[in-house]
Structure 1
Amino acid sequence: MTEEAALGDNADWPAHTRELRPWRSRGGGAREDRTLAQVEVSMPPKIATLTARLSGPLAARMEDALREVAMLDAEHGTQLDALGALLIRTESVASSKIEQIDASIDDYARAMHGVKANPAAISMVAATEALRTIVTSVQPGDTIRLSSIMDAHERLMANDDALADRQYAGRIRDMQNWIGGSDHSPRNAMYVPPPPDTVDEYLSDLLSYMNRDDVPVLTQSAIAHAQFESIHPFTDGNGRIGRVLINTILRRRGATTRVVVPLASALVAHRDRYFDLLDDYRDGSVTPLQESFVAATRIAAMESRTTARRLVEIPSEWRRQVGKIRSGSATAMLLDILPTRPVLSGEEACDAVSASESSVYSAIERLHVAGVLKPLTARKRNQVWSAAAILDELDDLGKRIAAAAR
């Protein structure tokens, strides 16, 4: 019997099953928490060899979305370094917002530069580093390894406020976790992932699926993400790492080579719908998830191409703001590096620009007066500066994608 036949005529993916497991309270909570003796856990299917059904119209929309991604990845030549950095930040910020972790762009920029900032901004920067760590470690045709996922998780959680979660940075959980319900037990939980003793086997199965080359790449990224969310292998950070896997698969399959597609900005526009899609997956319906990922990919790639064109225009606008600039001057050199380093300190500017310290600081002041740079800190020594137009574009890109997704 084929795998598809085994699903039944009306199903398009095997549903999760349920199992009762013993539960022992660790104390605390209401009486119902303390006396809970068993918990119903969700057991995802093994997916390493499964193939999702794909209708002709959905396959056509999938190809259209991938064409948009290919044009984004190929069309913008020298601007891709600046674009790549901005898209990584855009995706990380949006992915954090799905978890209701939010901070202003300026706070995020301060945290990105190591300046004291609020916990949400620090968490956003950690998500950026996690995404950069795993996506840049994979080239087309490579094998996605568990060690890369663990490294990304370690970066994500290393500075987490919760000591318990920080201690589990880069480690698979050895305890039962759950989503929603009580803080003290899985009582009334919205979802209870598989038991800890099953997680290693599930991750091995998932990696086998992620490293296949015989399934459509957007289907693969959508299902791998939903399966990872269902396994929930970490004590915290599962959502952000699960979304990192989307662009990791796109990179491994060669759908992208230099950019990240900020799908999370589209998903955050329908946060409740996003969680509903994960529930649909667990109930045995994968088509809505595929459709959502296809739409999000197309929108994110199209709006990112708009941003790419904007990044081409910004340096010329800066030069018009500043006025006549001598070729080879500290001001000219500083303008050249700002697209890829939109946040930097005075000391870093001196290190990056081949000119005297006094010339560099004069250039910073000139760019500040012209409105190109704005200060991010109130201190007088080693001030941190940001290229306002670049940060504004980061913010605007996320908003445009979310608006188009709505």
Structure 2
Amino acid sequence: MTDAPARRDWAPHTEETRPWRQSVPRGPRAERKVREVTVSLPPYIRDLNYAMDRPLTAMVMASAGDLGHLDLVHGRTLKALNHLQLRTESVDSSKIENVDASLADYGRALLGVGANASAVSMASATAALSRMIHDADTTRKIRPEAILKAHHDLFRRNPDEAERAGKFRTRQNWVGGSDYSPTGALHVPPPPETVPGYLEDLFAFAHRDDVPPLVQAAVVHAQFESIHPFVDGNGRIGRALIHAVLRRRRATRHLTVPIASALVSHRERYFAALNDYRDGYAQTLVAMLSTAVRIATAESWTTAKNVQTIRGQWHDALAKPRAGTPVHRLLDLLTEEPIINVPLVAERIDASEETARTTIDTLVDAEVLTRTARSRQAPVWLAKGVLDEVHDLSVRIQASSRRMREA
């Protein structure tokens, strides 16, 4: 456990021993002979209430207030900020799962023009996160259909997992330990036949409006991770659920602050907080999430100002192009989509591919765009100023998170 409070503030998981055996004998002989597994059974949470002490209540309310203020001020006027935040969140959520790639490879994967497996996985995480937030925003619900489609987005391009993409698990899984049996596992989720009931209970809790949104998001996330309803991808889908809950509750209406950027700087503490939740101490994760939101919100203010400054510098470098011209429209596009190719530009600025190429060349000459290496057959260009800001946003959030932990 981490520095959890002395008193339990949530219903703990219970344990139960169930029969188990490998479907296909594999691994060491001792593991092939395992015939039982001790599973962790989460509480049913549909009607549970969470009582916060005064300091935690103040922390949660302050974080929610900061987030709402950022969304109010920059949500409508700076659409680009949400695109950059989404990408930062997806990249760092993937890093928690030890999935990493360069921004150039990530960009090629986003454009579907070829990239390595890690970059494709990161691009797929972006699509999954976007889908879940959009669905929660438009339906005002957390729907299993959206979660399954998001999981399909996450794994449909993965040849090893494509067959299971968008499907809840039908076999026992476990976290950590051996690849062949639950021996030594860090967490053994409930049996597969219980997953539908647990998820129905989880969605009922997620649809309540009498729980503070940040608390609700933390509990929904931790409960989802405990149920572990997929064979793989539970972490990234579970962290996307945090944002889906916040959007459903209108804690945010336009923006997606990169919470995972704060969590990735304390990866082991984050996993320990999930274990605290299973032991009946929800406060650890609620406080951690509230702190992550507050840090990500503060640094997003800086990014909002920086993106506006970058856009102004581009405008001046290109002799202040008139509104409505292809150059002006492409400059606007780059603040949202800093990784481009000709088909994307032609579609988004409503121009021919020839005009798109000419406009891109103009921005290359002005040093706004740089063509990536290894992209001769399918050229991809990067707006380095904006991509540097995407990277800096993640770095600043992680640094602030570490400083706050050390203080």
**TM-score, scaled to structure 1:** 0.93
What residue is the counterpart of 2:314 in the other structure? 318
Cα offset for 1:167? 1.1
Moved more, 345-354 or 125-134: 345-354
What residue is the counterpart of 1:11 in the other structure? 8
Matched residues in 1 for 2:121 and 2:329: separation? Answer: 32
Determine if the alignment matches structure 1 residue 52 to structure 2 residue 85.
no
SS in 1 for 2:274: helix
SS in 2 for 1:139: helix
Structure 1 residues 380 and 143: alpha-carbon distance in aligned structure 2, compared to 1, 3 A threshold: closer
What residue is the counterpart of 1:23 in the other structure? 20
What residue is the counterpart of 2:258 in the other structure? 262
- Per-residue CA shift, 1:245-272, capped at 9, x if unaligned? 0010000111000111211110001000
Cα offset for 1:77? 5.5
Moved more, 51-60 or 122-131: 51-60
Cα offset for 1:336? 2.6
- Per-residue CA shift, 1:277-306, capped at 9, x if unaligned? 011111111111111111011001111111
SS in 2 for 1:129: helix
Matched residues in 1 for 2:374 and 2:231: separation? Answer: 37
Q: Kindly report the root-mean-square deviation, in angstroms, between the aligned alpha carbons of the 2 structures.
A: 1.8
Matched residues in 2 for 1:91 and 1:261: separation? Answer: 7
What residue is the counterpart of 2:224 in the other structure? 228
Q: Please show how residues 20-99 of structure 1 align to structure 2 within 5 Å.
A: 20-25=17-22, 26-76=24-74, 79-99=77-97
What residue is the counterpart of 2:285 in the other structure? 289
Determine if the alignment matches structure 1 residue 204 to structure 2 residue 181.
no
Matched residues in 2 for 1:15 and 1:354: separation? Answer: 56
Matched residues in 2 for 1:121 and 1:177: separation? Answer: 26
Q: Please show how residues 2-401 of structure 1 align to structure 2 within 5 Å.
A: 10-25=7-22, 26-76=24-74, 79-139=77-137, 142-162=140-160, 165-323=161-319, 325=321, 328-353=324-349, 359-380=355-376, 383-401=379-397
Matched residues in 2 for 1:296 and 1:363: separation? Answer: 40
Moved more, 353-362 or 267-276: 353-362
**TM-score, scaled to structure 2:** 0.93
Q: What are structure 1's unaligned runs of at least 5 residues? A: 1-8
Q: What are structure 2's unaligned runs of at least 5 residues? A: 1-5, 403-407
- Per-residue CA shift, 1:224-261, capped at 9, x if unaligned? 10000000000000000000100100001110001112
SS in 1 for 2:137: coil
Matched residues in 1 for 2:209 and 2:352: separation? Answer: 53
**Are the aligned partners of 1:79 and 1:311 in contact in 2 as well (CA < 8 Å)?**
no
SS in 2 for 1:74: helix
Cα offset for 1:148? 1.2
Moved more, 17-26 or 370-379: 370-379
Matched residues in 2 for 1:246 and 1:45: separation? Answer: 20
Matched residues in 2 for 1:65 and 1:266: separation? Answer: 14
Moved more, 324-333 or 381-390: 324-333
Cα offset for 1:348? 3.2
Cα offset for 1:153? 0.9
Cα offset for 1:329? 4.0
Matched residues in 2 for 1:358 and 1:40: separation? Answer: 63
Q: What fraction of aligned residue pairs are identical, expressed as a percent? A: 45
Moved more, 72-81 or 13-22: 72-81
Structure 1 residues 21 and 71: alpha-carbon distance in aligned structure 2, compared to 1, 3 A threshold: same
**Are the aligned partners of 2:10 and 2:280 in contact in 1 as well (CA < 8 Å)?**
yes
Cα offset for 1:326? 5.4
Structure 1 residues 378 and 29: alpha-carbon distance in aligned structure 2, compared to 1, 3 A threshold: closer
**Are the aligned partners of 2:75 and 2:253 in contact in 1 as well (CA < 8 Å)?**
no
Matched residues in 2 for 1:56 and 1:188: separation? Answer: 39
